[in-house]
């Protein structure tokens, strides 16, 4: 990943320069906002060339990753990849 934009405590934007072929050229951003003493993260994974089964898998896995991050931040324990139950 190449950092395209970095605003401390607010935003991180990456451009994928080397990975799975479908990821190369995509942009991933994390927007961080505080509301009423709570942090909110908005993830965007943009610039996909087409919707494929891999795209759908990544969409699901990003959602699970964010859920695991939420668990870690709130409860002190995330959900490791190998312990996920589908």
**Where do the domains of the chain lie, and which CATH numbers do they carry?**
2-80 (3.30.530.20)
* pLDDT value, residue 80: 85
- Under 8 Å between Cβ of 45 and 58: yes
Q: Where are the beta strands (DSSP E) in 1-86?
A: 2-7, 11-15, 27-35, 38-46
pTM of the predicted model as reported, rounded to 2 decimal places: 0.82
pLDDT tens readout for residues 3-35? 999 999 999 999 999 999 999 999 999 999 999
What is the Cα–Cα distance from 72 to 39, expressed in whole angstroms? 13
pLDDT, tens digit (0-9, with 9 covering 90-100), for 19-76 = 999 999 999 999 999 999 998 999 999 999 999 999 999 998 999 899 999 999 999 9
Residue bearing tokens 């087409």: 50
């Amino acid at each position: 990943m190449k950092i395209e934009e970095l605003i401390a405590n607010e935003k991180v934007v990456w451009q994928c320069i080397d990975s799975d072929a479908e990821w190369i050229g995509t942009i991933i951003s994390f927007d961080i906002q505080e509301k009423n003493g709570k942090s909110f993260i908005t993830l965007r994974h943009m610039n996909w060339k087409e919707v494929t089964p891999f795209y759908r898998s990544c969409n699901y896995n990003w959602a699970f990753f964010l859920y695991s991050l939420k668990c870690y931040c709130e409860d002190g324990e995330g959900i490791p990849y190998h312990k996920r139950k589908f």
